Protein backbone atom coordinates (compact mmCIF):
# COMPACT_ATOMS: atom_id res chain seq x y z
CA UNK A 1 0.00 0.00 0.00
CA UNK A 2 1.40 3.36 -0.94
CA UNK A 3 1.31 6.27 1.47
CA UNK A 4 -0.33 9.67 0.89
CA UNK A 5 1.18 11.77 -1.85
CA UNK A 6 3.11 14.78 -0.55
CA UNK A 7 1.48 18.07 -1.47
CA UNK A 8 3.77 20.74 -2.90
CA UNK A 9 2.51 24.21 -1.90
CA UNK A 10 1.69 26.25 -5.03
CA UNK A 11 3.15 29.64 -5.79
CA UNK A 12 0.65 32.06 -4.27
CA UNK A 13 -0.34 35.55 -5.40
CA UNK A 14 -0.56 38.39 -2.91
CA UNK A 15 -3.82 38.32 -0.90
CA UNK A 16 -6.54 40.64 -2.14
CA UNK A 17 -8.12 43.40 -0.08
CA UNK A 18 -11.57 42.76 1.35
CA UNK A 19 -14.44 45.16 1.93
CA UNK A 20 -15.41 45.82 5.52
CA UNK A 21 -18.45 44.07 6.97
CA UNK A 22 -19.08 41.06 9.20
CA UNK A 23 -15.81 39.58 10.51
CA UNK A 24 -14.31 36.97 8.19
CA UNK A 25 -13.21 33.92 10.19
CA UNK A 26 -11.49 30.83 8.81
CA UNK A 27 -11.08 27.56 10.68
CA UNK A 28 -9.08 24.42 9.99
CA UNK A 29 -9.97 21.23 11.77
CA UNK A 30 -10.90 17.56 11.83
CA UNK A 31 -14.26 15.80 12.11
CA UNK A 32 -15.18 17.78 15.22
CA UNK A 33 -14.92 20.97 13.17
CA UNK A 34 -16.22 19.86 9.76
CA UNK A 35 -18.93 17.59 11.16
CA UNK A 36 -19.37 13.82 11.29
CA UNK A 37 -22.19 11.31 11.02
CA UNK A 38 -25.54 13.14 10.96
CA UNK A 39 -23.88 16.48 11.80
CA UNK A 40 -23.07 18.39 8.61
CA UNK A 41 -20.51 21.24 8.42
CA UNK A 42 -23.21 23.90 8.74
CA UNK A 43 -24.31 22.33 12.06
CA UNK A 44 -20.85 21.92 13.60
CA UNK A 45 -19.72 23.85 16.69
CA UNK A 46 -17.75 26.22 14.44
CA UNK A 47 -20.83 27.08 12.39
CA UNK A 48 -22.94 27.44 15.54
CA UNK A 49 -20.37 29.83 17.04
CA UNK A 50 -20.29 31.81 13.79
CA UNK A 51 -24.07 32.21 13.89
CA UNK A 52 -23.97 33.39 17.48
CA UNK A 53 -21.20 35.93 16.81
CA UNK A 54 -22.22 37.11 13.34
CA UNK A 55 -19.16 35.82 11.51
CA UNK A 56 -18.64 35.00 7.86
CA UNK A 57 -17.14 31.53 8.25
CA UNK A 58 -14.93 29.52 5.90
CA UNK A 59 -14.29 25.95 7.09
CA UNK A 60 -11.37 23.81 5.91
CA UNK A 61 -9.98 20.41 6.80
CA UNK A 62 -11.36 16.87 6.83
CA UNK A 63 -12.22 14.01 9.19
CA UNK A 64 -9.27 11.99 10.46
CA UNK A 65 -6.69 14.70 9.83
CA UNK A 66 -4.33 16.47 12.19
CA UNK A 67 -1.13 18.45 12.41
CA UNK A 68 0.82 15.33 11.40
CA UNK A 69 -1.82 12.71 10.54
CA UNK A 70 -3.01 13.10 6.90
CA UNK A 71 -5.97 10.78 7.43
CA UNK A 72 -7.65 9.01 4.54
CA UNK A 73 -7.75 12.20 2.47
CA UNK A 74 -3.96 12.56 2.49
CA UNK A 75 -3.93 16.10 3.90
CA UNK A 76 -2.50 17.46 7.12
CA UNK A 77 -3.75 20.77 8.54
CA UNK A 78 -0.88 22.49 6.72
CA UNK A 79 -1.97 20.97 3.40
CA UNK A 80 -5.56 22.04 4.06
CA UNK A 81 -4.35 25.57 4.82
CA UNK A 82 -2.40 25.75 1.55
CA UNK A 83 -5.08 24.19 -0.64
CA UNK A 84 -8.25 25.61 0.87
CA UNK A 85 -7.44 28.88 2.61
CA UNK A 86 -4.09 30.51 1.81
CA UNK A 87 -5.12 31.85 -1.61
CA UNK A 88 -8.08 33.74 -0.14
CA UNK A 89 -8.11 37.34 1.12
CA UNK A 90 -6.76 37.61 4.66
CA UNK A 91 -9.38 36.86 7.34
CA UNK A 92 -9.88 38.80 10.55
CA UNK A 93 -9.37 35.61 12.53
CA UNK A 94 -7.85 32.20 11.81
CA UNK A 95 -8.69 29.28 14.11
CA UNK A 96 -6.73 26.03 14.02
CA UNK A 97 -8.50 23.28 15.96
CA UNK A 98 -7.25 19.75 16.43
CA UNK A 99 -4.82 17.17 17.68
CA UNK A 100 -7.36 14.43 18.37
CA UNK A 101 -6.05 12.36 15.46
CA UNK A 102 -2.33 12.89 16.11
CA UNK A 103 -1.73 9.69 18.01
CA UNK A 104 1.29 7.40 17.70
CA UNK A 105 3.49 10.11 16.17
CA UNK A 106 4.95 11.69 19.30
CA UNK A 107 3.94 14.96 20.89
CA UNK A 108 7.21 16.69 19.95
CA UNK A 109 6.60 16.00 16.28
CA UNK A 110 3.06 17.34 16.59
CA UNK A 111 4.39 20.49 18.24
CA UNK A 112 6.91 21.05 15.45
CA UNK A 113 4.21 20.61 12.81
CA UNK A 114 1.93 23.04 14.63
CA UNK A 115 4.72 25.60 14.82
CA UNK A 116 5.46 25.28 11.09
CA UNK A 117 1.80 25.79 10.26
CA UNK A 118 1.59 28.85 12.49
CA UNK A 119 4.74 30.28 10.91
CA UNK A 120 3.26 29.76 7.45
CA UNK A 121 -0.04 31.39 8.43
CA UNK A 122 1.75 34.35 10.00
CA UNK A 123 3.93 34.84 6.93
CA UNK A 124 0.89 34.71 4.67
CA UNK A 125 -1.40 36.91 6.77
CA UNK A 126 0.77 38.95 9.17
CA UNK A 127 -2.13 41.05 10.47
CA UNK A 128 -4.57 38.18 11.09
CA UNK A 129 -5.25 37.16 14.69
CA UNK A 130 -4.67 33.42 15.21
CA UNK A 131 -6.26 31.16 17.81
CA UNK A 132 -5.34 27.52 18.39
CA UNK A 133 -7.81 25.09 19.98
CA UNK A 134 -6.28 21.93 21.41
CA UNK A 135 -7.66 18.41 20.95
CA UNK A 136 -11.35 18.01 21.72
CA UNK A 137 -12.35 14.96 23.76
CA UNK A 138 -15.96 14.33 24.72
CA UNK A 139 -15.05 11.37 26.96
CA UNK A 140 -12.14 10.90 29.37
CA UNK A 141 -8.98 11.85 27.40
CA UNK A 142 -6.09 9.40 27.19
CA UNK A 143 -2.74 10.46 28.58
CA UNK A 144 -1.22 11.07 25.16
CA UNK A 145 -3.90 13.67 24.41
CA UNK A 146 -2.56 15.82 27.23
CA UNK A 147 0.96 15.54 25.83
CA UNK A 148 -0.29 16.62 22.41
CA UNK A 149 -2.22 19.47 24.00
CA UNK A 150 0.88 20.69 25.81
CA UNK A 151 3.01 20.50 22.65
CA UNK A 152 0.45 22.41 20.59
CA UNK A 153 -0.01 24.98 23.35
CA UNK A 154 3.76 25.52 23.48
CA UNK A 155 3.88 26.04 19.72
CA UNK A 156 1.04 28.55 19.96
CA UNK A 157 2.87 30.41 22.71
CA UNK A 158 6.07 30.58 20.67
CA UNK A 159 4.18 32.02 17.72
CA UNK A 160 2.16 34.51 19.82
CA UNK A 161 -1.15 32.77 19.08
CA UNK A 162 -3.87 32.44 21.72
CA UNK A 163 -4.54 28.90 22.95
CA UNK A 164 -7.86 27.47 24.14
CA UNK A 165 -7.98 24.12 25.97
CA UNK A 166 -11.11 21.95 25.63
CA UNK A 167 -9.60 19.14 27.71
CA UNK A 168 -10.47 20.92 30.94
CA UNK A 169 -14.17 20.55 30.07
CA UNK A 170 -16.39 17.63 31.06
CA UNK A 171 -19.23 16.60 28.79
CA UNK A 172 -22.26 14.40 29.39
CA UNK A 173 -22.42 11.10 27.50
CA UNK A 174 -25.82 12.26 26.27
CA UNK A 175 -23.91 14.72 24.07
CA UNK A 176 -21.98 11.97 22.25
CA UNK A 177 -23.03 9.99 19.18
CA UNK A 178 -23.25 6.20 19.29
CA UNK A 179 -19.70 5.98 17.93
CA UNK A 180 -18.59 7.05 21.42
CA UNK A 181 -16.40 9.83 20.03
CA UNK A 182 -18.18 12.61 18.20
CA UNK A 183 -20.71 15.17 19.45
CA UNK A 184 -24.41 15.06 18.76
CA UNK A 185 -26.21 18.19 17.55
CA UNK A 186 -26.61 19.20 21.18
CA UNK A 187 -22.95 18.39 21.79
CA UNK A 188 -21.92 20.78 19.03
CA UNK A 189 -24.21 23.42 20.48
CA UNK A 190 -22.53 23.02 23.88
CA UNK A 191 -19.09 23.20 22.26
CA UNK A 192 -20.16 26.37 20.46
CA UNK A 193 -21.30 27.94 23.74
CA UNK A 194 -17.96 27.03 25.32
CA UNK A 195 -16.06 28.61 22.41
CA UNK A 196 -18.15 31.78 22.40
CA UNK A 197 -17.71 32.18 26.16
CA UNK A 198 -13.94 31.58 25.95
CA UNK A 199 -13.55 34.12 23.15
CA UNK A 200 -15.56 36.75 25.01
CA UNK A 201 -13.82 36.21 28.34
CA UNK A 202 -10.39 36.58 26.76
CA UNK A 203 -11.28 39.40 24.38
CA UNK A 204 -10.40 37.28 21.35
CA UNK A 205 -13.36 38.04 19.12
CA UNK A 206 -12.31 39.54 15.75
CA UNK A 207 -14.56 42.55 16.33
CA UNK A 208 -13.25 43.17 19.88
Residues 26 and 94: their CA atoms lie apart, in Å, by 5
Residues 37 and 131: their CA atoms lie apart, in Å, by 26
Whether this prediction's pTM lies above 0.95 is answered by no
Is residue 46 within a helix (H) or strand (E), and if so which, with residue range?
Answer: helix 45-53
Please give the sequence-ordered ranges of beta strands (E in DSSP) within 122-161, or none if there are none: 129-133
Read off the pLDDT of residues 51-86 as tens digits, 9 standing for 90 and up: 999 999 999 999 999 999 999 999 999 999 999 999
Read off the pLDDT of residues 107-131 as tens digits, 9 standing for 90 and up: 999 999 999 999 999 999 999 999 9
16, burial (CB in 10 Å: exposed 0-12, middle 13-18, buried 19+)? exposed
- Angle at 190 (CA atoms; ends 186, 196), nearest 5 degrees: 140
Instruction: Check residue 13 and give its pLDDT.
Output: 46
Read off the pLDDT of residues 130-153 as tens digits, 9 standing for 90 and up: 999 999 998 889 999 999 999 999
Residues 75 and 106: their CA atoms lie apart, in Å, by 18
Q: Is the pLDDT assigned to residue 12 strictly greater than 70?
A: no
Q: Is the pLDDT assigned to residue 6 strictly greater than 80?
A: no
Amino acid sequence: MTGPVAVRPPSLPAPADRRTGAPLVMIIGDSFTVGSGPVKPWRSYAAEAARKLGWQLVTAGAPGTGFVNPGLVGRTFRSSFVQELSWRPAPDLLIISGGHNDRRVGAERVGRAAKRLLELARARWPRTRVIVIGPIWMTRPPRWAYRVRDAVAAAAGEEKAAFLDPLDQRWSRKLILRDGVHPTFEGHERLARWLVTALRERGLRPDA
